[in-house]
Chains A and B, each alone.
Chain A
Amino acid sequence: MTTAGWEHFEHQADIGLRAWGPDLATALEQAGVALTAVVTEPETVEATQAVALECTAADPEFLLVEWLDALIYAMATRRMLFATYEVHLDGLDLHATAFGEPVDRDRHAPAVEVKGATLTGLKAEPGADGAWRLECVVDV
């Protein structure tokens, strides 16, 4: 497993996101890419605009849910897709910049809107090596 990355895992009707990184902030950045990949191929999205986002939660698991919900909200209301992210954590206060562009239906062929992050199989924990591993099923 590379030091930071993401993949999808199977959930019957919906889609599971799995992301990992050497620290929680990096893993959350990867979870953002995994979210984009539900809608389109992330490499087709150009990082031409920056959007500032903030959220907070009582624990890392709910922070993952809040972060994904904040991205889902920004994607829906701004009609944008995001390619990359910069996440900074001050404790469990998250400050981020999401880099992306408006949806281009010809280039992105966006398959499905994400409705929200669920609490099913929700995980956010550091492993023995200190690397963070995140899991969340999103409703599509």
Chain B
Amino acid sequence: MRDLRDMFVIARRELLERVRSTWFVVITLLGPIGMVALVLVPALIAAQGADGAKVEIVDRTGVLAQPLFDRLTTARWKPAIVPADTPDQVEMDRIRDGKINGFLMIPGDALTGGTILYRGDNGSSQVVGITLHDSVTDLVQRQRGRQANLSPDQLDRLLAKVTVVPQHTNGKTEGASGIGSLLIAYALVFVLYTVIGTYGVGVMRSVVQEKTSRVMELMVATVKPRSLMSGKILGVGAAGLIQILVWLAMGAVTLAYRAQLLAMFGVAGGSSGLPSIAAGEIAIVAAYFVLGFFFYASMYAAVGAMVSSEQDTQQVQMPVVMVMMVGVVCLQIVSDDPRGSAAVVMTMLPFWSSMLMPMRYVLGGATLGEVAMSLAILLVSTVLIARAAAKIYRVGVLMYGKRPGFGELLRWLRY
């Protein structure tokens, strides 16, 4: 009971020290603004697109210039047709002088496979590329059809849209959008990875600072190292989770009111494009997120316990980062074959289960029993690692300046 009370007293201290700092407040509040921007900016950019782009058309086929001019005008560009014999250099000069954004060079063999080249200061814009590609492709195909004496009706049938949709299913569940599931899985891994990167390191620094501020002699004399370590992991972790919860809440609100928000900026909003997730899946994702977070926080705490200064942490935390990276690299393995043996093993090991199991489950590759087992493994190993961290800390307490060797570490764990 006492240990538990000590742990919470320490966790509260760690949490308050973080939550009260100006930076925490600033980042927590700025995060959602960034998230709103994440939703708004692409939509705004896409909507404005290439409106008003001044583009000149050099057409050496003699048949494409006018229809293309009409299409681009409809797309609210400002096209112009220049004589077919206009040299490239003249157009390049006009771009340099800021008179036009760019020019489209349609060579005489364009209808028989010649490369149509667009050069302009907006040439890297996706919208510009897509608009030009779609318009020109359609016009060229129609022109070819006419040359083959196809009727407009035949042409329309030939050019009718083809739709291919890949869906993911394990045969039991309704198929889900493959891209959507993968997107969610990647997003989860990304968020987990980022948060562990910041708050795991926070736990580590908190442990190291205890040594540099020399407060640890007082702390070790006052509480059990186990309470100290678990309190630290819990307190710093709680600060991270609070931040994420604030962000998620704001993010959810932003997504829910996406259309209205976009309307405020005068843009018609579509759907968010994200597939919906079931409540059960959210619970599993949350469980893995929290446990995975504390697992890596414990690993970082152990790293902090091993070193005596912040400089030393750089090298010693490398193995932890590498282990995390393996999980990221193996995302594809699990998403390609969620029921394969590699996926099963990876999602049982505590190092990667938090990153990979939610995805495997969402993709329908894991049973609830497997999920329960992997959660249990994750929980137990978190506790074990936190305890090992406490032991390392306890024995290394007054060893300033000297990092233990591997053999020495093993001896400390037996102490």
Report whether chain A binds chain B. no
B residues near A (Cβ < 8 Å) are: none
